[in-house]
Amino acid sequence: MSLLIGDKAVVTIHYKLTDNSGAIIDSSEGAEPLAYLHGAGNIIPGLENALVGKTAGATLQVAIAPEEGYGEVHPQLIETVPREAFQGIDQIEPGMAFEAQGSDGQARRIVVREVNGDEIIIDGNHPLAGVELNFDVEVVSVREASEEEIAHGHVH
């Protein structure tokens, strides 16, 4: 009998991720399949929930709303900062990404949205925040996780 996908299962999938216009955002095509520990928060909640109860060989298409993906866009994470905040960087252009230290001390990724003279508009949202995600998934394999994988919270 095939093992069903559920908590503490190591699941290996091939996937293609597109936005609503059909543009490919990410894919495992031509690469190793993605292996993750189910129930450990290794993948977005919407995809993890859609895979529950599936077995090796299953294929599915699933649309995931932002709240079950990378969240909604949080306007408070878009802010204007002075050019001095980018010490040592001469050329600052829209689309550039940087790692900044948040008020909580954690590193977070920011992207330059606009450059207006000495004012830089930055965005700390995940690049896929607010985006509906469309997955085409093939379950390659399902196995029980080892005690070590469960303790560490990821696949070895």
Multiple choice CATH, 9-70+128-152, 3.10.50.40, 3.30.930.10, 3.90.79.10, 3.20.10.10: 3.10.50.40
- Does the pTM of the predicted model rise above 0.85? no
CB contact at 8 A, 11 and 52: no
CATH of domain 75-123: 2.40.10.330
Instruction: Give the pLDDT of residue 30.
Output: 94
- Of 44, 74, 73, the closest CA to residue 131 belongs to 73
Instruction: Give the pLDDT of residue 105.
Output: 82
Mean pLDDT of 132-136: 98
- 86-to-17, 81, 103, 108, 126 alpha-carbon distances in Å: 33, 9, 17, 15, 20
The backbone torsions φ and ψ at residue 75, rounded to the nearest 5 degrees and listed phi first, read -55, -30
Higher-confidence residue: 84 or 139?
Answer: 139
Mean pLDDT of 97-112: 86
